[in-house]
Amino acid sequence: MGELRLNRRRRLPVLDLGPSPGFGHNGGPPLDHIPEWGVGGFKTYFEWRAASEAAFAKVPYETAIRRARKAEALGLTYREYALELLERGRYLQAEDTERIAAIIARRHQPR
């Protein structure tokens, strides 16, 4: 067998990983981390998310196209238009300028 030669001229790169965590730290998220579902219970968050996805998944193709065109004509996104229909139970018309303005203003608010 050949002998093992080490290349002592080549230096390995030094990785800067920042300050090392203290003794006993497992490297997990910080204690002030707020998860996607907010503070408190998470069961209702996942139930709401599943129901929301189901409401948008069961729309026939032709209905989705019609709603998307109406939403575009009103200056809304498809999701905003469909949510208004699901929440209020009525279709938005061009005369509903106050409600449309409120929906558009809500886009720019932090959640």
CA–CA separation, 66 vs 63, rounded Å?
Answer: 5
- The residue segments making up the domain with residue 96 are 61-111
Residue 95 lies in a domain: yes
Residue 18 lies in a domain: no
Q: What phi and psi values does residue 47 have, to the nearest 5 degrees?
A: -65, -45
Residue 47 lies in a domain: no
CA–CA separation, 84 vs 57, rounded Å?
Answer: 16
Residue 51 lies in a domain: no
Residue 105 lies in a domain: yes
Q: What is the pLDDT of residues 79-109, one digit of tens each?
A: 999 989 988 888 999 899 999 999 999 887 7
Q: What is the pTM of this model?
A: 0.57
Residue 101 lies in a domain: yes
Number of separate domains in the chain? 1
Residue 103 lies in a domain: yes
CA–CA separation, 55 vs 78, rounded Å?
Answer: 13
Residue 111 lies in a domain: yes
